C-alpha cells in the first residue's frame, strides 16, 4: 500500500518532504497523462508484476524458503504495514470529509458482495454445487486483490490522496469478506470478528481519529521520518511474497478449465463492468473513482484460499482462480484501466 507520489504529501497539499517509498515507486516531477493507452497503463503497473515474478523466481531457486514466510509476513502485518498506513493517511485532506469516508467503506463492502453474487451465479452455470466448490468459487472470483497489488498501482497512477482513501475503502472490503464471505464458505452463521482486529485496521482507525481531531499534522520530524522508513519496504516485500505463494500454489493443483475460464470471466470481465458502472453513475469523490478503476482491474485475492482452508471450503478451486486471474490480468489490466479512465474522464500521472 503506497501513497504520495513525488512532490505531493499523503494529502492533497504540496509537501516539501519526499517520502522514501515514493522514490521507490515513481520518478519525481512527472507530467500528467491526458490520453492514456493500454501500453502506458501497462508500463505504469509493470513494476508490480516484476516484483511478483521475482518472488516466484526466488522461491523456485530456493532463496526465499517457505519457512521464512510466517516470520516475514508477521513483521509486515504487525509493524511495517501499520507504519506505512500511518505515513500515508496522516495529513490526508480527503479523510476529513465524513461523507467521503462512508461512501468509500460502503462501496468497498457492497461491491465485494456484488462480485460474490456474480461468482455464485457463474458457479451454478458451470455445474458447481453448494458444498462441492460453488461457494468457494463465488468468493474467489468475486473478491479482487484489494490491498497488496492495488495500493502500489493506485499510488503509481493517482498519488497519495487516493491511497489514503483506499485504506478506508478496504475496511469495507475486510468486513464483507470476514462476515458474508466466511458465512458463505462455511455454510454457517458465525462471524470471526476478532479477525478484524489487526495491525492495519488499527492503524487506519488511529489515523482517522487523529485526522478528525486535526492533530495529525503535528506528527512530524524524526518520528514521522522513522515511521516512513519502517513502512517503506512493506509493499515491495509483500508483493514478492505473493509471487512466491502463487508459485507454490501453481505447482500443487490440477487445473479445471471450466473453473479457470469462468473465474477469469467473472473477475476480469463481469465484475470490472459492474465496478466501473457504479463509479460512473454514483456520485462520489474523484479519489473514489480513481480507486474503483484500479479495483476493477485487479486479479483475485489470496484471502479466499485461506478462508476455504479454515472454514471447510474447497481450497483447490480458489487456488485455480487466483493463479489464472493473476496471469491473465497482466494482459487485461492495461485495457481495463485505460478504458475505465476514459469512461470516468480521469487524468492519471504519466508512467
At residue 15, the pLDDT reads 40
Look at residue 351 in the predicted model and tell me its pLDDT: 52
180-211 as b/e: b if 16+ CB within 10 A: bbbebbbeeeebeeebeeebbbebbebbbebb
Q: Residues 7-37, buried b or exposed e (16+ Cβ, 10 A)?
A: ebbbbbeebeebbebbeebbeeeeeebeebe
Hey, is 346 helix, strand or coil?
A: coil
Structure confidence at residue 217 (pLDDT): 86
Give the pLDDT confidence score for residue 233 in this predicted structure: 87
Q: What is the mean pLDDT of residues 318-346?
A: 93
Q: Would you state the pLDDT for residue 349?
A: 66
pLDDT of residue 258: 94
Give tens-digit pLDDT for 72-93.
Answer: 888 988 999 999 999 999 999 9
Kindly state the percentage of the chain with pLDDT values over 70: 88
Q: Which residue has the cell 475460464?
A: 261
The string of DSSP letters for 116-152 reads HHHHHHHHHHTTPPTTTTHHHHHHHHH-B-TTTTHHH
Q: What percent of the chain has pLDDT over 90?
A: 55
Q: What is the pLDDT of residues 119-161, one digit of tens each?
A: 999 999 999 988 889 999 999 999 999 988 898 899 888 888 9
In whole angstroms, give the CA distance from residue 116 to residue 114. Answer: 5
Confidence of residue 169 (pLDDT cuts 50, 70, 90): very high
Report pLDDT for 156: 87
Which pLDDT does position 22 carry in this prediction?
41
Alpha-helical segments (H) within the chain: 20-25, 38-60, 69-75, 81-89, 98-125, 134-142, 150-157, 160-176, 182-186, 199-212, 221-231, 234-250, 257-265, 271-281, 286-297, 303-310, 315-344
Residue 166 has pLDDT above 70, yes or no: yes
| Cα distances (Å, whole numbers) of residue 43 to 49, 245, 246, 350 | 10, 24, 22, 10
Average pLDDT over residues 242-266: 87
φ and ψ at 228, to 5 degrees? Answer: -65, -40
- Per-residue pLDDT, 165: 95
CA distance 173 to 116: 12
Phi, psi of 154 (to 5 degrees): -60, -40
**Poorest-confidence range of 60-69, 185-194, 280-289, 327-336?**
185-194
pLDDT digits (tens, 9 = 90+) for 220-234: 899 999 999 999 888
The model's pTM:
0.84
Give residue-wise pLDDT tens across range 16-46: 344 434 434 444 444 444 556 888 888 888 8
Taking only the tens place, the pLDDT of each residue in 265-307 is 999 999 999 999 999 999 999 999 999 999 999 999 988 988 8
Sorted by where each begins, the domain ranges of the chain are 39-344
Higher pLDDT: 15 or 338? It is 338
Say if residue 192's pLDDT is above 80. no
Read off the pLDDT of each residue in 63-78 and give the average, rounded to a whole number. 88
Least confident of 24-38, 145-159, 248-262, 311-325: 24-38
Alpha-carbon distance of 121 to 337, in angstroms, equals: 25
Architecture of domain 39-344: Up-down Bundle (1.20)
Could you give the CA distance from residue 228 to residue 235 in angstroms, rounded to a whole number?
Answer: 13
> What is the average pLDDT score of the chain?
85
Amino acid at each position: 500500500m503506497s501513497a504520495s507520489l513525488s512532490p505531493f504529501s499523503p494529502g492533497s497539499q504540496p509537501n516539501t518532504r519526499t517520502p522514501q517509498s515514493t522514490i521507490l515507486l515513481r520518478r519525481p516531477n512527472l507530467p500528467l497523462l491526458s490520453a492514456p493507452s493500454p501500453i502506458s497503463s501497462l508500463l505504469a503497473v509493470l513494476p508490480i508484476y516484476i516484483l511478483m515474478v521475482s518472488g516466484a523466481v526466488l522461491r523456485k531457486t530456493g532463496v526465499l524458503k517457505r519457512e521464512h514466510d510466517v516470520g516475514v509476513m508477521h513483521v509486515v502485518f504487525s509493524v511495517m504495514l501499520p507504519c506505512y498506513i500511518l505515513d500515508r493517511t496522516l495529513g490526508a485532506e480527503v479523510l476529513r470529509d465524513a461523507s467521503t469516508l462512508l461512501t468509500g467503506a460502503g462501496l468497498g463492502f457492497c461491491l465485494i458482495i456484488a462480485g460474490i453474487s456474480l461468482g455464485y451465479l457463474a458457479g451454478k452455470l458451470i455445474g458447481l454445487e453448494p458444498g462441492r466448490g460453488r461457494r468457494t468459487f463465488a468468493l474467489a472470483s468475486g473478491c479482487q486483490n484489494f490491498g497488496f497489488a492495488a495500493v502500489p498501482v493506485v499510488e503509481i497512477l493517482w498519488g497519495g490522496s487516493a491511497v489514503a482513501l483506499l485504506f478506508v475503502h478496504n475496511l469495507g472490503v475486510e468486513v464483507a469478506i470476514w462476515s458474508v464471505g466466511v458465512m458463505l464458505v462455511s455454510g454457517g452463521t458465525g462471524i470471526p470478528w476478532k479477525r478484524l482486529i489487526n495491525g492495519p485496521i488499527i492503524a487506519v482507525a488511529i489515523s482517522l481519529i487523529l485526522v478528525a481531531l486535526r492533530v495529525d499534522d503535528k506528527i512530524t520530524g524524526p518520528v514521522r521520518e522513522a515511521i516512513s522508513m519502517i513502512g517503506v519496504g512493506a509493499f515491495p516485500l509483500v508483493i514478492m511474497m505473493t509471487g512466491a505463494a502463487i508459485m507454490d500454489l501453481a505447482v500443487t493443483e490440477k487445473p479445471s478449465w471450466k473453473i479457470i475460464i469462468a473465474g477469469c470471466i467473472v473477475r476480469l470481465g463481469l465484475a470490472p463492468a459492474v465496478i466501473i458502472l457504479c463509479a460512473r453513475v454514483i456520485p462520489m469523490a474523484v479519489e473514489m473513482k480513481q480507486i474503483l478503476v484500479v479495483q476493477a482491474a485487479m486479479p483475485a485475492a489470496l484471502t479466499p484460499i485461506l478462508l476455504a482452508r479454515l472454514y471447510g471450503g474447497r481450497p483447490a478451486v480458489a487456488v485455480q482462480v487466483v493463479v489464472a486471474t493473476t496471469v491473465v490480468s497482466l494482459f487485461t489490466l492495461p485495457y481495463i484501466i485505460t478504458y475505465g479512465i476514459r469512461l470516468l474522464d480521469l487524468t492519471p500521472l504519466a508512467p
